[in-house]
Amino acid sequence: MPSPFDIRTLQLGDLGLISRIDRSERIDIEYTVADGRLQGRIVDYEVPTWSRDGSGEHSVAGVIDYWYPVVERGAAFFGAFATDEVAGLAIVDPSFEPNWAWLAFMYSSRPYRRQGVASTMWHVATRLARNRSADGMYISAVPSGSAIGFYLAMGAELATEPHPGLSAAEPDDIQLVYRFR
């Protein structure tokens, strides 16, 4: 079944499109890893969209600054569009480690969630990685129930040995792997 979203390859100068992603979300389940297993706990809080002020880690400027060097080094940056609206954005580094890709960034904008945006971008990311002969893909996911649930549904599994660089950069994220079979 064809996607209702137009996938477009984006350039370094397009990182400003991140400002058009509404990342806000009500979180009701949050995950941690204990003894090598996912542990969910019930929570209740709202994650706001990125701040348009300042340059902190949850600001538009901070997010762009963080991902700029990754895209500059050659990671693929692409978006899912509904007409000219940004429905989602993703960054995948197909040559992250020998034989391993990295799904570095993937967000669906709130108005487009549960419409196939993430699935469409996931399939593009895995195709890019496979085309570069990767054996699998690292995923460093926010610990929300929706993010972890999505990646598990796609076939990812908890990393038995988290990537040290990813863990250091995002210590609260859940490290997953998706092996191409």
CA distance linking residue 170 with residue 174, whole number of Å: 9
Percentages of the chain per state (helix, strand, coil), in multiples of 5: 30, 40, 30
Structure pTM? 0.94
- pLDDT value, residue 146: 95
Q: Which CATH number fits domain 6-179: 3.30.70.580, 3.40.1390.20, 3.40.630.30, 3.40.50.1100?
A: 3.40.630.30
- Which of 149, 113, 132, 91 lies closest to 5, judged by CA? 113
pLDDT tens per residue, range 75-101: 999 999 998 899 999 999 988 999 999
Residues 137, 177 contacting (CB under 8 angstroms): yes
Q: Give the C-alpha separation, 61 to 58, whole Å.
A: 8
For the chain, which residues make up each domain, given as ranges? 6-179
- Give the residue among 152, 155, 132, 133 at the shortest CA–CA distance from 143: 152
Instruction: Assess contact for 79 and 92: CB atoms under 8 A.
Output: no
Q: What is the mean pLDDT of residues 43-58?
A: 91
Give the pLDDT confidence score for residue 1 in this predicted structure: 53
| CA 69 vs CA 76, 93, 162: distances in Å | 12, 11, 22
